[in-house]
Structure 1
Amino acid sequence: MAYQPIENYAIIGDMHTVALVAINGSIDWLCIPFFDSPSVFGALLDDEKGGRFQITPRVTDVRCKQFYWPGTNVLITRFLSSQGAAELTDFMPVEPVNETGLHRFRLIRRLTVVRGAIDFILECRPAFNYALDPHQTERITAGAVFSTEKLKLLLSTDKPFEISKNGVVSRFTLREGDTTVFVLSQMTPGSEWAMHTSNKEAERLFRVTVDYWRDWIAQCQYSGRWREMVYRSALTLKLLTFKPTGAIIAAPTTSLPEEVGGERNWDYRFSWIRDSAFTIYAFMRLGFTEEAQRYMEFLSKVYRGFSGDKPPLQVMYGIDGKTELKEMELHHLEGYKGSRPVRIGNNAYKQLQLDIYGELVDAIYLCNKYGAPISYEEWQEVKRLIDWVCRHWQQEDEGIWEVRGRRRHFTYSKLMCWVALDRGLRLAEKRSFPTDVSGWRKVRNEIYTYILEKCWNPRLKSFVQYPGSDALDAATLLMPMVFFVSPTDPKILGTLEAVMRPPQEGGLLANNLLYRYNLDKTADGLRGREGTFNICTFWLVEALARAGQFKSDLLEEAHLLFERMLGFANHVGLYAEQTGFSGEALGNFPQAFTHLALISSAYNLDKALGTRG
């Protein structure tokens, strides 16, 4: 079976893990029981060895469509063929943990024929531990059990099946009005789930899950334009939240390539400080203060109690707060469409990225303003973070884009160090917290002067990636968004004009999509090319929208750019990290960074359009 395009997938989940479901009804990526657990189905990274769980009609003329049950993360895959029509409903129940206090994975696939009589084939071929661990397959009354030393799964079914290549194959026919249920669940000693799940029980779980998601999204306070896309982005971000700790992952996949056949393949199943801080902003914009507060509690545990001059924060953490995220290559997997290497873990956790301090302090500032006020003890921790920034802001680092080349004085890193000082001063004043106000103001002014004098290129009339460079960087578009300068400051307007030139003229904009930087001018230590960065395009929309409140032509440009960008979402409204030359999705999928930027740009563009009547 050939690889599906990345954009052909939708996701379902239970805030512990996520499954990628292809438009043809195949689950090609699933880690059990958690986001960062080894994969059980990994056909996404090796079509032959990776394992999959597919349900599909046995006809050649089948057409497939997918959509989410309105206001939920329950997925419907519709099969249309000459034999008839059927619907496959996929979801993971969101229920309280059991009496032991432990979460138990459960995936429900309910298949109903709504017209005609259709012959189906089910194939469930797990490949445990990234297809490294062998497993045993056993037939029981309730279905089939797949077992390794570390994990045991039950496939519950009332359909006949055969065991083939250590997987399960079932061929069956359903007629109009018939429904059958397949449940994949994690088994534990003494589990009472070793029985087939009835249609009645599946319907109950469906209703419980639908109610959960609808009750959650009903709390959203956004009522502007593009509400459906904003809601879908919010629901996606919620799916990428790890319920036990409040951590937010960057994406649920690993090693989906930024260039097919290239080496830019990374594991994103961790919680980045930067991504998560921006996600907090998006949640708070929509009124989801509980999610923001839960993540702040997670963060406070990882930075509390540091001392000395060692960096107090890592770039990223495991979803349980783990600090060791050693990068490894899985040489036995061929990678998506032959894109090696396949990596698990991410060595970027050892990098120095100074921008994360500004993003974190800004998130704390917002939570204090719109959520629960921070305590004096928490302020002491924040104060130590800012004092550390005062001593180290002049260092070179790897920057927001995690370059694997040499360190530099990246403009964006200096900008966010300024944000750390600025928000710290605002917070101290607002809450009358004790601190070295004059010392912090002195450093804040030094950083401001540094950026204006050294990071501005008078020949290009633009802020650049680092002092002395002629390379542009989309991250500089955030300057007005963090209130470093006015959105109509001549230097920002010059930067907007520069980045919107085509790449062959030194700019970053191609086909209405923005590259993060120009690879011909930025040595990032990696071979190959990459696609345009979706978050950067949304940043451009927001920068234009903010300036457009005072310049109508820029507002019109922002509006058109946003509408065009919406056209690059996939069939269920999801985005990967990047968009390729032909509009294809590239990079890990779906990416939180992209969806939070969509929310922010939609909010601010709607606000700008509203002020003009």
Structure 2
Amino acid sequence: MDEAPLSTRPISDHALLGDCRSAALVTSDGSVDWLCMPRFDSPSIFARLLDETAGYWSIRPTRPTEITRRYLDDSLVLETTFRGPDGTVVLVDALALGHGERGHSMGASSPGVLLRQVTCVEGRVPVEVVYAPRPEFGLVKPLIEPVRGGLIAHGGAHVLTMSTPIDLRVSGAVADTTHTLRAGERLGLALRAGWAWGPEQPCLNPRHIRRRLKDTVAGWRSWSRLHARYQGPWQDQVGQSGRVLRALTFAPTGAIVAAATTSLPESIGGERNWDYRYTWIRDTSFTLQALATAACEMEETAFFAFLARASATQLDHDVDLQIMYGVGGERDLSERPLTHLSGWRGSAPVRVGNDAWRQRQIDIYGELLDAAHQIYQDAGPLDTLTRSFLIGVADAAAHHWSEPDQGLWEIRGPSRHFLHSKLMCWVGLDRAITLAPLLGATSRVAGWTRAREQIRTAILTHGWNHQVGAFTQAFAAADLDASVLMMPMVGFLPGDDPRVRATVNAVATHLTDARGLVHRYHAADGLPGEEGTFLLCTFWLAHALALAGESDPAKRVFQTAASYANDVGLLAEEVDSATGEPVGNFPQAFSHIGLINAARAIRDTALVIAH
């Protein structure tokens, strides 16, 4: 079939597959264009998402069809239906869960198996299969050879076993065939990735593939039943967002990655292309709130335990807390460009690693302590190391709050006195004061209280701009920033405070585009080009409006942001201001977190008004 290079395909055309360790993205016409195994941050096996030469695996009818797709109920198992002149086939795709994994055990083992099953439900349909693995982000063109029950591909660190009951023609580093299916017939295929020096991975037979698919559906549904906690408006979207967060969780450690991809651009054709397959401390408190709504205590506890272990260090006046980690707790995330890849729609460079790990962001003290407050406020005695670490975090917030940093948005320019950073230091000390008896730190409460009140005075004095009539991005600055919407969310000021209302109105007026979506800021940030509107910030506006008692405007803003989910309920990071097209890494955990938290806030506000 003739086609344009698929690195130009819309980002929102992809659906996510996950096994709570790694991720794949599948296009609407049945091509796996992104797959990293065995971890989210592993080198890719398929990366046509970033360059047409970087590998894919396509299964689809040979003639044009009408395509619909959905996730099977309460799961992340994808079903794509192709209806065309020859008949109808249904393709089911999943990253396999370990055999018998249910509920909280999902992702406990590491099967590393991509399952694909295509079934003809009517007619006689020629189906094309094209398999072009390109390990290590397309650097390796493996040697492919037929074996009993499938194909083996050797090259680089991996050996790939593709199970197939039909013969594929091998030509160089591509294997393909066209096979006609009749009504009632099905094909089961699978891909397993193993290490080149490890034991050979046997091919799976079609019956085994069918069983693994059914078992994976059952695993996801068991988790969804355990976590159907949210009752209220947008219940389906909240439930789906909870499953996305679970899919973006690295089960062995509890880490949650910011997104499944690297280098999908914030600005088409620009350089704002980052690797998001890591975990940020800044996301912690909002993530835990979302997990409390759409998941359960197990996910909250595992995520916070990971961050506490990864970030544990001896804090003193000369040592800052690192802002982000690899999914195994790795600290050195040094960034490098992959110059052989052209990038999505020519958006280069493609990067792996993220040099933001070197930045200084003092807001993370508040995120950690707010998260600890959520987890431990009703807990029993804490162990000595946890108490010592959290006391050190609070002391660091008290010591460093008055210093400049790079801020929440990781500005790659000079350090500044960002309001959000000061706000989160206030949050950290406020929560530490509450936790002091549990931490065995009542002797520190007086000092923490003095620092907290100093921060509050500084924010109210230097963060409010009389000319703008709003709280602004940084002290003594005139630029607006959507992060100031967090002031009522963290309890610094009530949502109906006149200054908060004025700030919310200023953001709605000056940072919101014609579509009703919110920009992070308009200030210079040390990078060339412009970025799109942020879905997270739009959900923040809905959240802040709800806290201000503006229920109807909050609902309208929420609906606007939620409408940018694709056909299977996935949200990108941003929306291109010129075209309205979703951009940025995908799917974006923070966008789904914003959806969950805003939905809960709007629901709770409505309940208060009703009573």
TM score, norm. by length of structure 2: 0.94
The one-letter code of the counterpart of 1:524 is D
Report Cα offsets for 1:221-268 as digits up to 9, x if no partner.
Answer: 111111110010000000000011111100010000111101100000
CA shift in 2, pair 1:370/1:601, >3 Å? farther
Aligned to 1:351: 359
Aligned to 1:599: 596
Report Cα offsets for 1:516-559 as digits up to 9, x if no partner.
Answer: 001xxx121111111100000000000001111xxxxx211111
CA shift in 2, pair 1:509/1:122, >3 Å? same
- Trace 1:514-553 onto structure 2 (pairs within 5 A): 514-518=518-522, 522-548=523-549
CA contact (8 A) 1:183 1:197 kept: no
Aligned to 1:122: 129
Gaps of 5+ in 2: 102-107
Match of 1:139 among 118, 121, 146: 146
SS at match of 1:211: helix
Distance 2:507 2:425 in 1: 23
Report Cα offsets for 1:454-473 as digits up to 9, x if no partner.
Answer: 01001111000012211000
Cα shift at 1:482: 0.2
Report Cα offsets for 1:403-460 as digits up to 9, x if no partner.
Answer: 1111100000000000010000011146664341110000000000000000100111
- Trace 1:225-304 onto structure 2 (pairs within 5 A): 225-304=233-312
Count of residue pairs brought into register by the alignment: 596
Aligned to 2:35: 30
CA shift in 2, pair 1:466/1:190, >3 Å? closer
- Trace 1:381-396 onto structure 2 (pairs within 5 A): 381-396=389-404
Distance 2:478 2:491 in 1: 24
CA shift in 2, pair 1:15/1:380, >3 Å? same
- Trace 1:485-496 onto structure 2 (pairs within 5 A): 485-496=493-504
The one-letter code of the counterpart of 2:253 is T
Distance 2:419 2:38 in 1: 40
Are 2:185 and 1:178 equivalent residues in the alignment?
A: yes
Aligned to 1:57: 61
Aligned to 1:551: none
Match of 1:77 among 80, 90, 105: 80
Report Cα offsets for 1:127-152 as digits up to 9, x if no partner.
Answer: 11111134211110111111124111
Report Cα offsets for 1:375-401 as digits up to 9, x if no partner.
Answer: 343122100111112111111100000
The one-letter code of the counterpart of 1:181 is G
Between 1:305-314 and 1:214-223, the stretch displaced more is 305-314
Distance 2:285 2:174 in 1: 42
SS at match of 2:520: coil
Cα shift at 1:302: 2.1
Distance 2:590 2:310 in 1: 21
Distance 1:584 1:468 in 2: 35
Cα shift at 1:337: 0.7
Between 1:369-378 and 1:101-110, the stretch displaced more is 369-378
Cα RMSD over matched residues? 1.8
Are 2:580 and 1:572 equivalent residues in the alignment?
A: no
Cα shift at 1:206: 1.9
Distance 1:259 1:150 in 2: 34
CA shift in 2, pair 1:373/1:91, >3 Å? farther
SS at match of 1:95: coil
CA shift in 2, pair 1:190/1:313, >3 Å? closer
Identity value in percent: 38
The one-letter code of the counterpart of 2:535 is N
Match of 2:451 among 443, 457, 463: 443
CA shift in 2, pair 1:370/1:534, >3 Å? farther
Are 2:155 and 1:151 equivalent residues in the alignment?
A: no
CA contact (8 A) 2:254 2:306 kept: yes
Aligned to 2:582: 585
Cα shift at 1:305: 3.8
CA shift in 2, pair 1:152/1:102, >3 Å? farther
TM score, norm. by length of structure 1: 0.94
Match of 1:86 among 74, 84, 89: 89
Aligned to 2:319: 311
Cα shift at 1:58: 0.5
The one-letter code of the counterpart of 2:62 is R
Cα shift at 1:208: 1.4
Cα shift at 1:64: 1.6
